[in-house]
Structures are given as C-alpha cells and as structure tokens.
Amino acid sequence: MDIFPSEVIGTAILILLGDGVVAAVLLAQSKAQNSGWIVITFGWGMAVAMAVYAVGQFSGAHLNPAVTLGFAFEGRTPWGDVPTYFAGEFVGAFIGATLVWAAYSNHWRATEDPGLKLAVFCTAPAIRNTVANIITEIIGTFMLVLGVLAIVDPGNELTSGLAPLIKRLRKTVTGLGIVNVLRRLSPTSGDTTPTYTSTSPLSPNPSASRPVLMSTAIRNPLSVAK
C-alpha cells in the first residue's frame, strides 16, 4: 500500500478512536460521561497503537505532521514525500472526525454546553497566554517526536516488535503529563474558544457545523490542551 492511502487509513483510525473516547467522556447521556482525563489519555494511547499496527508496515504510520517533519529533518523521510504524508494525514483526520460525528449523532443535541462539543474535536488553553501556550506546544511536540525517534531507532533493540505498544504508553504518559499533542496536530481552522461555534455538528446552521468538522483537519498551533 502506498503512503497516501496508508496515512489516510491510519490517521482516520487514530482520530476515530481518539476523538471518539473524548466524545464518550464529554457528551451528554454517553455511558462513559464524566469518566475523566485518565480514560481519555488511555483511549488516545490505544488509538495510537491500533493505528500504528494497522499501517505501520506500509508508510511507517506517521499519522501526524510533527512526526513527518521530525523524520524529514532527521533524514528518515525524503522531503519529496512530505506533501504526500501531509495530504494523507489531513484527509484521514477529516474522515475520522466525520465518523465520530456520525457515531455520536444522538448526543450532540443532548449536550447543551457548546464548549464540550467543540472540545471533542479540538483543544483550547485552560489559561489563555500566547507565550506560555507556545512554550507548552514546543515542549509537548519535542517530547512526542523525540519519543517516536527513540522507539523506531534501528539500534534500539529494547523496542523491537513492541514499538506500537510502547508508542501507546508514551502517548498515555505525554497526555497525562504535558499535552494532548497528536489530537491538536491532527489539525482546527480558526480560533478554538468555545464561542467559535455555539452549535453541534448537527446544527441547522451549515456555517456553524463546518468549523467543528474542520477542527480535525487544520489545527490551531497555539491551542493547548485543557
């Protein structure tokens, strides 16, 4: 399988399961409602593992523009392949987000808080401070890429055959300790404040529904996990 379809499928799995667990925890009348941050980070970790196992043998399962850039700078990925990886990740993220919207179609209307509905697809700072938010993004993205490079290093015999599982554990620790980097970089367009849209993806206002679905297609780099 080529790079583009592999990244589409892998990123779609990542977002479907990752944003899906967020929806389960945040949306009203879900059986997992209010189960907490640990459930979200563990679910995202499992999402990473499943996506890597699914397409890792075909494209390396970047699933994230930050990983693709890291691999390109490090010399593992040819720069000529970077646009293909980006395109696959963008399309896959949008497909995954759409599937989450469809799977939880009955819960959008039942959820009154627009901020919770938006948070399924993107994150925003708990304390909005541009400088501090950028610093957090740099730290989180650095740890993400450093961890991935260490895990897939051919000389690291400790991770042989266990890379997807270890990536899952690394994602869980990163989500608990720093930020939910992969979710933000599986890309929003525009601001990520709860007032950006006051409706669910099922809104009768089409212009209000598009930003929500696009939130997993082009992510605001200044946003920070709650």
Task: Give me the chain's average pLDDT, please.
Answer: 75
Spell out, as residue ranges, where the chain has pLDDT lower than 70: 156-226
* Token couple for 143: 């740890």
| Structural domains of the chain sorted by starting position, each given as residue range(s) with its CATH number in brackets | 3-214 (1.20.1080.10)
The reported pLDDT for the residue numbered 122 is 85
Cα–Cα–Cα angle for 185, 218, 165, rounded to 5 degrees: 30
Q: How many C-beta neighbours within 10 Å does residue 149 have?
A: 15
The reported pLDDT for the residue numbered 217 is 36
Q: By the 8 A CB rule, do 182 and 44 touch?
A: yes
The reported pLDDT for the residue numbered 164 is 56
Report d(CA 201, CA 65) in Å as an integer. 25
Amino acid at 160: S
Q: To the nearest 10°, report the CA torsion of 104, 110, 114, 116.
A: -60
List Cβ neighbours of 206 (8 Å cut-off, separation of 6 or more): none
* Token couple for 211: 């930003």
Environment class of 215 (CB within 10 Å of its CB; exposed 0-12, middle 13-18, buried 19+)? buried
The reported pLDDT for the residue numbered 158 is 65
Taking the alpha carbons at both ends of the chain, their separation in whole angstroms is: 37
- pLDDT, one tens digit per residue, over 180-209 is 344 454 444 444 444 433 333 333 333 333
